[in-house]
Amino acid sequence: MRYGFVKAAAIAPKIRVADTEHNAQEIIRLMKEAWQDGARIIVFPELCITGYTCEDLFLQELLLKKAKEALIRIVKASEGMDGIFFAGLPLEVKGKLYNVAAAYSDGELLGLVPKTHIPNYGEFYEARHFTKAPEKYTFIDVDQEPEIPFGTNLLFACADMPHLTVAAEICEDLWAPNPPSSFHAMQGANVIVNLSASDEVTGKDAYRRELIRSQSGRLVCGYIYASAGEGESSTDLVFGGHHLICENGTLLKESRRFTNETIYGEIDAERLVGERRRLTAYETEEDTLSYLTIEYSMKEADAPLERFIDKAPFVPDQKEEREKRCEEILTIQAMGLKKRMEHTKSKSAVIGISGGLDSTLALLVASKAADYLGLERSCITAVTMPCFGTTDRTYTNACELTKRLGAHLREVDIKASVSLHFQDIGHDINVHDVTYENSQARERTQVLMDVANQTGGLVVGTGDMSELALGWATYNGDHMSMYGVNASVPKTLVRHLVRYYADTCTDSRLSDILLDILDTPVSPELLPPKDGVISQKTEDLVGPYELHDFYLYYMLRFGFSPDKIYYLAKIAFEGEYDDGTVLKWLKTFYRRFFTQQFKRSCLPDGPKVGTVALSPRGDLRMPSDACASLWLNCLEQIEK
């Protein structure tokens, strides 16, 4: 697939114990079906060629011979099929029997990975039959196939997709204190496959799921787990065919147990590499372990991406998670402000309240901080500063919100002072240009700073991360404060935080005010209204914030290229924006993001609440005069 995506499949054939002919036939059939469905990493369970539950039949020469013959047949059946496939079998090497994962591709046996940790407890007595993997890889002959790599330390690298490297482990290996997959990941593997035969007992599925999910997160990898299912002997155990596909701590797909269901999941190898690029823990230790890298081919296929792409990556989608996350974010913001007020011995927090979303959130945070400090909320001075663009709706909401929260309301009408300033600098008040707009923003900031001096307090910044990304702030105007509580909160999340507060507060009038603020168009209100309503709508000028937040997340969180972000955005916003609109605003995003870095280089302090932030002191160290040509040229190629 394109842009680093690879489709994986986990399959449990309905086997017959010790019937290698039947099992090979089923594996081949299911392998071809999965490949035709677009899967290019296909994983079958542990010992699936013979069945995991053969017990002492594993010591029978005939079974071992037929298992090897079945493997060769399966490998040959993959001719003409690119990608990489894994199937399990017992294999004798130099008089020892090993539980092996065979890796093959396009009619070629690539390597054999033996199981490292052999269980010998409870219902599992594998040590009766199998030997643990040797410490170093070697080469063996398999039937007519000479010099086949044999060992745990094998990496399978895709020659046509540099970001994809696969390694294997088998069942119990993952349950061990130090799984082979940990070493594989440190040596560059970003997709781990696990051929397993895990029986079902009450509650084990939950532990298994969490183990695999957390291992994929710890190793920053894709993890494909295929477990034995129906067809295995039920003498003492029942196997449920519980398959899981995870990526970096996220469960992408899970099978229904007891169904022998084939599952598919699309792993973003490029995303995994980008994530590891940021982590210093992934330093390859060449001298510690000796690994062999084996290449295979996989043609790029322009298959449709079926993976879910969240159009609001900053916002939790489930109600329970949303409430927990929103409360946590509000607490982080409030605790940051609490600490700053304590340290500076501030007697008050001064906020410019406009009746818009950002200042509303800042006021809610300041109220929470005052509660933590044990102070009356009247220590918060909310200053409304009506001017040429202020509407009755936003003015009324600002005043009512302040009163309902118990903060002190102060009104400073700045029309006269701004008009005088226009006279001082010789600006025509009828020319509604950037000077007209920014003079109001800077006057408001001056008022707030002076009120903070009067009250022995500090100015709480209200600007959010989306505005910072686009540079949608007046330099040394609303751009400046003494502590910016919303600095790492994107606009889409600001909206959800305010809605969460509206949904959970016990004051119905306060809730109504918050809901009306949510329904008000986002605007700096710096231009005169038309017929009493807002005439200057931010999203008409710079583009929809939901698009910009999507672009920002994938650009900074994973370092995706512009064309990949465009590709994902088209999928996420299908039916809402046409391709031309997505591309238009993506160009705007990159142009503004690069040209406005100088505003972010001198940001006030503010608390980080998520994995993406723009602070010049930590999360984004970017020169203010960096050139956007590479990124914009990439987007220009899309139109050609």
Phi, psi dihedral angles at 148 (to 5 degrees): -90, 125
How would residue 121 be classed by pLDDT, with cut points 50, 70 and 90? confident
Domain containing residue 243: CATH number: 3.60.110.10
Residue 174 lies in a domain: yes
Same domain, 435 and 348: yes
Q: Which residues pair with 199 in a beta bridge?
A: 239
Q: What is the pLDDT of residues 54-86, one digit of tens each?
A: 999 999 999 999 999 999 999 999 999 999 999
Determine, yes or no, domain membership for 303: no
E strand or H helix that includes residue 7: strand 5-10
What's the CATH code of the domain at 587? 3.40.50.620
Query: What's the pLDDT score for residue 538?
Result: 86
Q: Is residue 294 a part of any domain in this protein? A: no
Range of the domain at 24: 5-279
Say yes or no to pLDDT of 572 above 70: yes
500 and 565 fall within a common domain:
yes
Judge whether residue 524 has pLDDT over 70: yes
The yes-or-no verdict on residue 454 having pLDDT over 70 is yes
Residues above pLDDT 90, as percent of the chain:
89
- For residues 77 and 49, the answer to whether their CB atoms sit within 8 Å is no
Tell me the two tokens of residue 60: 């029978």
Active centre residues (catalytic) = 46, 115, 171
Q: pTM of the predicted model, to two decimals?
A: 0.93
Q: How many domains does the chain have?
A: 2
276-334 confidence digits (pLDDT tens): 988 877 666 554 558 999 999 998 776 789 999 999 999 987 777 888 999 999 999 99
Q: How far apart are CA 311 and CA 547, in angstroms?
A: 8
**248 and 358, same domain (yes or no):** no
> Rounded CA gap, 190 and 216, in Å?
9
Regarding whether 338 and 271 lie in a shared domain, the answer is no
Question: Is there a contact between 179 and 215 (Cβ–Cβ < 8 Å)?
Answer: yes
pLDDT at 526 over 90: no
Distances (CA, A) of 326 to 110, 166, 468: 49, 38, 21
- Hunting for tokens 């970017």 — which residue is that? 622
Which of these, 233, 175, 229, lies nearest to 200 by C-alpha position? 229
